């Protein structure tokens, strides 16, 4: 059989070529001559607002609108009931073809440094202000604490790199 789509036989894992219009039908495998289900192995285009998950019964991918998340439907492949679930990025790692690159942006380290410097700086000036209010005891304590906090955070962030 010559066609545009290819899938693996569920009995012998041999490659079966077929016309995409035959997807979802049972045919005789050309390799092991047992009956196997024709399916299109990966859906190349996912529309915005669409997700896909694997059927809980037969493991074939099912594309569905995201608002059907957590809904029980009939699988288009095996026609048994399955629940549509939007897969988490970690669950999709095993399927390299379906993982879009750059889905998890790394936290910006610049922001961490800014927070580590700006926050103790505010504390430092609060200490200066307290000293100006003739509360030198409190002021010195706040200043010491903010300097300590700055060193503490910078130590943590430098170890993260
Ligand atoms: Zn086969
Ligand atoms: Zn199924």
Q: Domain spans of the chain?
A: 1-41, 44-100, 109-160
d(CA 161, CA 29): 54
State in Å: Cα 56 to ligand 2 middle: 7
Which ligand is nearest the CA of 11, by number? 1
Which ligand is nearest the CA of 77, by number? 2
* Ranges of the chain whose pLDDT falls below 70: 1-3, 42-47, 89-107, 161
Q: Look at residue 32 in the predicted model and tell me its pLDDT.
A: 97
State in Å: Cα 87 to ligand 1 middle: 30
State in Å: Cα 27 to ligand 1 middle: 10
pTM (2 decimals)? 0.28
- Displacement of CA 160 from its chain's centroid (Å): 23
State in Å: Cα 81 to ligand 2 middle: 8
State in Å: Cα 57 to ligand 2 middle: 5
* Positions of E strands within the chain: 5-8, 15-18, 26-28, 35-37, 50-54, 61-65, 72-74, 81-83
Helix-, strand-, coil-residue percentages of the chain, each rounded to 5: 40, 20, 45
State in Å: Cα 34 to ligand 2 middle: 19
Q: Look at residue 1 in the predicted model and tell me its pLDDT.
A: 46
Which ligand is nearest the CA of 8, by number? 1
- Partnered with residue 7 across adjacent β-strands are 16
Q: Look at residue 78 in the predicted model and tell me its pLDDT.
A: 97
Q: Look at residue 58 in the predicted model and tell me its pLDDT.
A: 96
State in Å: Cα 152 to ligand 2 middle: 54
Q: Look at residue 100 in the predicted model and tell me its pLDDT.
A: 58
């Amino acid at each position: 059989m010559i066609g545009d789509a290819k899938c693996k036989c569920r009995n012998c894992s041999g490659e079966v070529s077929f016309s995409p219009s035959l997807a979802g039908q049972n045919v005789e495998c050309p390799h092991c001559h047992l009956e196997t289900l024709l399916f299109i192995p990966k859906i190349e285009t996912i529309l915005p607002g669409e997700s896909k998950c694997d059927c809980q019964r037969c493991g074939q991918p099912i594309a569905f609108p995201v608002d059907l998340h957590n809904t029980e439907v009939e699988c288009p492949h095996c026609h048994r009931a399955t629940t549509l679930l939007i897969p988490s990025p970690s669950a999709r790692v095993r399927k390299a073809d379906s993982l879009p690159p750059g889905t998890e942006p790394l936290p910006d380290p610049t922001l961490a440094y800014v927070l580590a410097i700006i926050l103790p700086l505010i504390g430092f000036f609060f200490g200066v202000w307290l000293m100006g209010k003739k509360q030198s005891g409190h002021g010195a304590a706040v200043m010491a604490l903010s300097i300590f906090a700055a060193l503490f955070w910078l130590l943590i962030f430098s170890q993260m790199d």
